[in-house]
Every structure is written in C-alpha cells, then in structure tokens.
A and B are shown apart, each in its own frame.
Chain A
Amino acid sequence: MTKHPLKMTKVALENLFQKPATVPYPAVRKPVYAATRGRIAIEEAKCILCLICDKKCPTGAIKVDRPGKTWAIDRLLCIQCGYCVEVCPKKCLGMENLYSPPVSAKAMDVVNVPFTPPPPKPKPPPASATPAATPAPEAGKE
C-alpha cells in the first residue's frame, strides 16, 4: 500500500539534525515586529483629557477623570484593538510592541496628566432668555 514506508522517519531524522525550531523563551526573546500590537502607552504631556478614548473604547478599559486630572487604563480589560490610538485627536496615545506582563492582582494603571482644562465657560445670564425667545419665530414660520 505504501510506496514510501520511511517518509516520517526521514522527516524525523532531518528534524533531529536541524537547528532547533524552539526559541528558548525566557532566555532569548524573538524580536517583535514594528506592527505588533502590544500595549497602549500615553504621552501624558500631550493629553488634553478630551474623554474621546474613554467613550470609544469597546470594552471600557480606559477611564479618564477630568477633575482629578488622571488617565487610567485597566490592562486586564484592554483588548489591544488600537481604536483609541486611531481616534485620539492629539495623537498622544500609541501602541507599544511589548505586551503587558501577567499580574496576580487587579489594578488600574493610572497616569497623572499635567494638562489643566480651561474653566467651563460661564453661561451668560441672558442665555436662558434667548431660547425662550427663539421658538416663537419658528412657531410663526410653521
């Protein structure tokens, strides 16, 4: 039935005398590629606490605290999709090649952001009067 009865033996012998395919991992690390998605990093100096990454994150891993001036990420919730990197308006988020290490306790990775948000614009007192005034002409148009 078999034409080449010793085919696997040949493959096995070839493997025996080849350089091992194994990367002896903890001692030697395979180089990572430029494209490798590892972990999210932030350049805190550029961050303006705009909350877009917080809102867009598919798993809700990023938490931005505007009054407390912190940017935090839960490494155990981040799926490394890189969506926050795409939507960041200041391009202060980046994808590092190295992955985050295993941990034995859950904790948020908190970064303090030096940016001071401008004080919220005080609403001019007549603002309440204008909306009341606007519906009237609209109603008139209809």
Chain B
Amino acid sequence: MANRTVIPFGPQHPVLPEPIHLDLVIEDEHVVEAIPSFGFIHRGLEKLAEKRDFTEFTFVAERICGICSYIHGMGYCQAIESVMGLEIPERAKWLRTMWAELSRMHSHMMWLGLLGDAFGFENLFMAFWRVREGLLDIIEETSGGRVIFGAAKVGGIRRDVPDDLLARIPAQLAKIEAEMRPITDVFRDDFSVRQRLCGVGVLSQKDAYDLGAVGPVLRGSGVAVDTRLEGYAAYDRVQVEPIVESDGDCWARAMVRIREVYQSFEILKQVLPNVPAGPVDMKVTGAPNGEFFARLEQPRGEVIYYVKGSGKKQLDRFRVRTPTFANIPPLLKMLQGCQLADVPVIVLTIDPCISCAER
C-alpha cells in the first residue's frame, strides 16, 4: 500500500493562470482524487441585477468574463429581447455574429498559446499570441475595445461598423489565416506536442455525456453538440457543422479548438459579404415581464442565461450557467489516475475561466 498524500494546488501557483484551488490526493505520483474549492473570484453579480436598470446591466453582463465578454453581453441582451418580444434589425444580427466569431477565435488562439506554455513550449505560446494581436486589432477597430468590446445593447448593437471597414476585414483575416497555418501544423505534427497530449486525461464519450461536459470538451470526446445550430443571431443563415474528435484526450480537445478557429474563418467569409444595410438598433420601451432561457455557444461551450422580470426596470432574477462550471465534474474525472506532472496541462484543456464559473 503506497502512501497517500494530499497536495494543495493553487490558488496562486506558478503554472496556474487563474485562482482555482485543487486538493490533489496523490498515491505514488498518481492522482487518486481531486477535490476542488471555489470562491476566489465570486463577485455575486447575479444579485446586482436587482439593483440595476435592465439596460445598464448589459455592462455588468459584459464583464462576467473578459475573454468571452462579447458573447456574455450578447446572450444577456438576447434573453431580454426574447422576454420583451423584440425583433432586432437584420444588420445588428449579422454584426453580432461577426463579433461572436471574432471573440471565439481570439479566445481559442489565446488558449492554444497558453497550452503551449503549460507543457513548456514557449515558442508556440509567443507565436500564437503574436498572431492573435492581429485579431485584436480588428476587434479594436470595429468595436472600440481590445478585450471588453462594449458593443452589446438591448435592441441591437451599440455602434455601427462602417461598410468600408467591413470590406477591409477579409483581407486582414486572410493574412492572419496564412500566419496561423504553420503554427497549427506544428501543433498537429510535432513529436513533443503529441508526446505531452496524446492519451493524457482521457474522457470517454459516455463519461463526457453523463457528467454534463460542454463545448470542446464534449466534442473532443465524440459527442456532436453545438449550440450555434439553434440558429440564434444570424447563425440560421450560415453553414455551421459541429467539429468532433473521437479520442477524448488532451490532444483531441486541442484539435477541436484548432479546427474551430478555421471554421470561424469560414463562417466570417460567409458573414462579412452578407451584412445587410439598415439600422443597427431599435428603441426599447417598457420593461421585461416574463422569463426566458437563452442558450449560446461560447468558446468554452454552452452558456445559459435565465432572466425573469416582472414589468419593473430591475430584473427579479438573473442567472447564468457558464461552461467552465459545467466542465468541472468532467475535469475531476479526467484527473483521476493521471500523473501529478500532467495536472496543469489537463486543468488547462478544459479552458478554465474561473471568473466565468464563479461570477
């Protein structure tokens, strides 16, 4: 019988990007069990919805997470619009789709870099982040912010994007795509990358489904679920196929994200020429009365917004179920039986966004 040791891991740890605490029960370098503890970033912003005007709460919703900020704001607005029965202008729908895809790409590229850093491949980290800056330039030029877009608004979008700027974006994206290819090829073919990722942290298809995994974690285990198929914003008019890998290990999850970046390039090629002319927002009068669930696909997976209003300016209840929260039980399953040295990489492959998870 080997000795059992409990190693506290986090919240501040050299290899952890974010404050999460795990108590790892170790038996001879193998993790037997991982016990998470939370609350380092809990803000209690759901309660804030009771104090704020529902239109002003958009700013809070955008700041649930700084990485998928736009999709949070958009999801909140979408939920409110559904409660109030608003049909937003077409141009706003298409521009929302554009920003949602840009934000997915910047999040995935950031994550691919961080994963490279986690297994000690610093050159990859720098390469991905260098290419990502080009995307941030497009985001800043269109929305005005680098990470917090500030473009979501109940009833449309807060700022219009000039047509000449929209016409320029495809060329910029083509340049970024050309820069991406050689680096993602390294990810796919490099011996040391495969050595660190293949067969590590395997999550079977059944476990992924039963434990309620979402997003790339679920698709990396071979379950084809993508909330974009629900057809919110302009997704009902673009071609979206869920990207599925069957291995369920860290490498499969990385591959799902790499292929999703390229899928986003394809989606943007469909979106950008089709943005119709017209107004971008509409006047919103009255207050939400009723309740609604909005489901959207974030870079990390499916996010659920629940809003409940009773005809007042302040909402009665606001609830958000973020993808990282749903991915914690699968993470604990993946950690069972892995080696201690693989823990940082496995934690990173669910793309943990603790500020999302704890709100």
Contact residues of A with B, CB < 8 Å? 1-5, 7-8, 10-12, 14-15, 21, 33, 35-37, 56, 58, 79-83, 86, 95
Contact = CB atoms under 8 A, between A and B. Distances in A.
B182 interface: yes
Interface stretch (B185-193, B242-250, B267-275, B292-300): B185-193
B143 A4 contact: no
A4 B145 CA distance: 39
19 contacts: A1-B191, A2-B191, A2-B194, A3-B189, A4-B189, A7-B185, A7-B189, A7-B190, A8-B186, A11-B123, A12-B123, A35-B159, A58-B56, A79-B59, A80-B145, A81-B59, A82-B150, A82-B158, A83-B59
B78 interface: no
A86 B143 CA distance: 15
Chain A facing B: main interface SS: loop
A8 B124 contact: yes
A80 B150 contact: yes
Given A58-B59, A81-B59, A8 B140 contact: no
B60 A58 contact: yes
A37 B133 contact: no
Contact of B186 (A11, A21, A33, A86): A11
B13 interface: no
A79 B190 CA distance: 43
Interface in B110-157: 123-124, 127, 130, 133, 140-145, 150
B194 to A, nearest CB: 7
Interface string B164-184: 000000000000000000110
Contact of A21 (B123, B133, B159): B133
B127 to A, nearest CB: 6
B109 to A, nearest CB: 14
B186 A37 contact: no
B43 interface: no
A33 to B, nearest CB: 5
A58 B190 CA distance: 49
Contact of B144 (A10, A21, A36, A83): A36
Contact of A56 (B56, B133, B190): B56
A37 B130 CA distance: 23
Given A2-B190, A5-B191, A21-B133, A11 B127 contact: yes
Contacts of B190: 2, 7-8
Given A11-B183, A58-B56, A81-B150, A35 B189 contact: no
B42 interface: no
B182 A11 contact: yes
Contacts of B143: 35
Nearest to B153: A86
Contacts of B191: 1-2, 5
Nearest to A15: B127
A15 B158 CA distance: 39
B119 to A, nearest CB: 13
Given A1-B194, A2-B190, A8 B123 contact: yes
A7 B59 contact: no
Contacts of A3: 189
A35 B142 contact: yes
A33 B168 CA distance: 14
